[in-house]
Structure 1
């Protein structure tokens, strides 16, 4: 579906851009954790490709694109090499990386939803896999780095924008309204929500009427 809306070259470039910035985020976390070069490469690969790999295995798209498309595998390694040698400079443009990451979030939740629907899943399941495509790599990254996954403690609303974007695509499909304009609308909506959440420190609500004396972990 998505490949019918955009020329293959543009779609491929967008995928690589999303993979690259996700890989930068994973590699930077590895540097902050004092991982060695192998750990940096692993976190870059897992962050960039984990969500798409999970989606492809769930829908039976084998071999997964992460292994059948060489550029998808090489791009995270290039990002890891960049961070390994230039991590102080990369960290200085962390805000720009966060903006690109937000764009990748929008693209991946949309592409994940449409690909799952193409393989015969229902709209709800397709939207769920769209969210998994967008945030799955980050969850694996956090687990490997011994961090509480951001999906479970959604500070600055990372998963919520992906849920909104994937749900929009599912609704557009159900009403036969999916086209380049509505697809772009879902991507932009996800992107803007994520940017606003970072700017204003929005977050998902805690448990209703929580009265525990235990302080929230930092």
Structure 2
């Protein structure tokens, strides 16, 4: 059996185990488990963290099996919670104090045993955190629930982690190592009660990918726009006029718009035949010309009328 960094009285270790067992048993009672299931969950919450730690350490035995009185205490706590669950809720303030104290003590025991086994700082802190919170995680797995330790909410596992980290750093580097255990207890309980008093809660994940992407993309876009502005011409250069810019619309007699098509000077159409008396039928029609579309166009006799083309005479 590995020696622990802090000589914990057996009654305090027993009380911490019973506190965890009662919390686990009450969870099973609310889930409508039978007495066997309630007792099993009580053992899991009370001792599963230490059992997991001893399995990971290897070759040092399982502490819960070396102390069978702890298993019997968990079973007794499960039976009491099964039959007197409502009565036990009146002791919630005392149970909360005992639970927070047990978390700190199990963190010290797990971290101290890991350091005694020759492990480094990181695995020692991990084993200390597992010892303090492993029972609740295994309980949720056995009850087919999402582990509360992994969800956003009250600061519980984080407090055990910070306490185990402080204890391991002080012990490994011999920084007031005689006060390392007390420091761990104060940190764990202080963080737990401060989180309840000030409403400290852990938050779920928040994605900052869009913020980072926009922050990186904006300078790139500005640089690309500058390069395009240098390569792009300022306007269309007219070769015929020497003017830079678009060609203005044509203006005819003050009217802006498209110019009308230019009519051909020649008139297309069929020449009317000459009558036998020498007169032209056009005279009867007002000297008009019949076009190919059958329309009779007349040319009135006037002094201002321009001479008719030879093709029409």
Show the 5 A alignment for 1:63-142. Answer: 63-142=61-140
Cα distance between partner residues in 2 of 1:62 and 1:68: 11
From 22, 25, 30, the equivalent of 1:24 is 22
Task: Verify the 8 A CA contact 1:150 1:158 in the aligned structure 2.
Answer: no
Query: What does residue 203 of structure 1 align with?
Result: 201
Task: Verify the 8 A CA contact 2:41 2:139 in the aligned structure 1.
Answer: yes
Cα deviation, 1:117-138, whole Å, max 9, x if unaligned, reads 1111111100000000011000
Higher relative contact order (CA 8 A, sep 6+): 1
Flag the structure with larger Rg: 2
How many residues are matched? 208
Please, which runs of 5 or more residues in structure 1 have no aligned partner? Answer: 212-218
TM-score relative to the length of structure 2: 0.62
From 173, 176, 185, the equivalent of 1:175 is 173
Task: Verify the 8 A CA contact 2:6 2:108 in the aligned structure 1.
Answer: no
What secondary structure, in the 3-state scheme, does the structure 1 residue paired with 2:139 have? helix
How big is the alpha-carbon RMSD for the aligned residues of Structure 1 and Structure 2?
A: 2.0
Give the deviation of 1:202 after TM superposition: 1.9
Q: 1:50 to 1:210 in 2, by over 3 A?
A: farther
Query: What does residue 154 of structure 2 align with?
Result: 156
Give the deviation of 1:78 after TM superposition: 1.6
Task: Verify the 8 A CA contact 2:106 2:131 in the aligned structure 1.
Answer: yes
Cα distance between partner residues in 1 of 2:62 and 2:35: 25
- Residues 71-80 or 195-204, more deviating: 195-204
What secondary structure, in the 3-state scheme, does the structure 2 residue paired with 1:202 have? coil
Q: 1:210 to 1:143 in 2, by over 3 A?
A: farther
Query: What does residue 145 of structure 1 align with?
Result: 143
Q: 1:84 to 1:208 in 2, by over 3 A?
A: same
Cα distance between partner residues in 1 of 2:144 and 2:94: 26
Please, which runs of 5 or more residues in structure 2 have no aligned partner? Answer: 210-313
What secondary structure, in the 3-state scheme, does the structure 2 residue paired with 1:21 have? helix
Cα distance between partner residues in 1 of 2:133 and 2:97: 16
Cα distance between partner residues in 1 of 2:46 and 2:176: 26
Query: What does residue 48 of structure 2 align with?
Result: 50
Give the deviation of 1:155 after TM superposition: 1.7
